[in-house]
Structures are given as C-alpha cells and as structure tokens.
Amino acid sequence: MANILIVEDEEPISNLIRMSLCKTGYHCEQAFDGETAADLIEEHTYDLILLDIMLPGIDGYELLSYIRTTDMPVIFLTAMGTLEDKVKGLRAGADDYITKPFEMVELLARVESVLRRYHKNEERINILDVTIDIPSRTVTRDGKPITLTMKEFDLLLFLVQNKNIALYRETIYENIWHSDYMVDGRTVDLHIQRLRKKMNWADKIKTVYKIGYRLEVDPDEKG
C-alpha cells in the first residue's frame, strides 16, 4: 500500500484529496505548510508527494529542490496553469503536474501513473547505508564503491528485493545459482559470510534458525 504525503495549505482541498486517496486504499499523511512537510520528508519515506506550489513559508519550488535530494516522486498541485509555470515545475524535477481545480478521478489516474512508472523504472535502490545501481551493477556507500563478485551482487539484490522475509537456503540457491538442486548448503553460507563482511552488514543479514537468512530493514530506515 503506497504511502502518500499531501502538502497543501488549503485544508478543505487537502481533506478532500485525503478522503479520495484513502477510499482507493492509499495511506495518507498531511502537511499544511512547507516547514512541517520538510520535517516529515526528513523523517519518513513516501512513495509519492503531492505538492502545492503556493504555500506559506517555504514554497513548493523550494521544497521540491529539497525533495530531489531524496528518491521520492512528486506531483505538483497548482492553481497557476500557465505553460511557463508548468515548464518551470517539470524542469525543477516534478514527475507530473495537475492544475486546480481538478477532478478527483484525474488526480487518481495521475497518482497511479506516476507510482507505476516510478516502480517499473526503478534502477537505483537506496537501502540502509548504500545505493545499489542495477544497470551498472555497482554498490556504493557515501559515493565509494563496494567491490562485489557477480554472485555476491546477485545475492545482495535478492536479499534487498525480499527484505524482512526469511529466505530458505534452497530458495537462495535456486535463485542465485539457477539450479533447483542444492549440492551443498555451504556455498550459500560462504557467500552470505562474504557479503556480511564486505557490506559491513553483520547485524543486518540475520541467520534464521533451520531456515536460512533474512535481511532486516527497519520500516523507518530507508529502503
């Protein structure tokens, strides 16, 4: 279930959006000014931010440049419908743009479309203290690369894509070594040990008794 932040200073509009999104099954939080929004964005990860341009204090453009340092997609909400504003918003990095007043069905369609596009094109994953770039198969921490073998990278990605799930050794073996017959469980164990050491994730990649392994990521942490 996607978690959406609504940044809008007009309470009736904000509440209307919240109600419509809730009914569709999204989880929503509201911020009525830029400062509160910035605090929330600093502390939480949202799947999408609906951002009004005209806000008291920090306005939508300023907030957008701050949001761009994270990985969260943004749809601009604005009463200003000129082409110039639209271009400015999209240039500043908004993923989409909707002009007030709008029909809720239109907003919902845009929300869905941005969420779909965003997840499908996910090429970079920020998780815990690292960034994983899938096309180039690189992992970096604070911009510095962590050197992994091909199998170690595959294993890392598999753990990340199944975070907080206990994975059987056999499942890991089948997915990483593309074989449905695990000759020796120690192959998996050895790679996990190497990965823990290289990633410095000894406390993150947990051993699950009699099953296998689980990458533990706190929901409040990034990822």
The residues that touch Ca ion, with contacts defined as CB under 5 A, are 9, 52, 54
> Minimum distance between the CB of residue 13 and Ca ion, rounded to whole angstroms?
8
Residue closest to Ca ion (Cβ): 54
**Which residue in 106, 61, 53 sits closest to 80, CA to CA?**
53
Comparing CB distances to Ca ion, the nearer of 11 and 133 is: 11
Cβ at position 86, least distance to Ca ion in Å: 17
The maximal CA–CA distance of the chain, rounded, in angstroms, is: 65
Nearer to Ca ion, 5 or 199 (CB): 5
Q: Kindly tell me which of 52 and 154 has the beta carbon lying closer to Ca ion.
A: 52
75 CB-contact burial (10 Å; exposed 0-12 / middle 13-18 / buried 19+): buried
Closer CB to Ca ion, 52 or 95, in the complex? 52
- Closest approach of Ca ion to the CB of residue 19, in Å: 18
HSE, CB side, 13 Å, CA atoms: give it for residue 155: 27
Shortest CB 27 distance to Ca ion, Å: 23
Residues contacting 214, CB < 8 A, separation 6+: 164, 165, 166, 167, 205, 206, 208
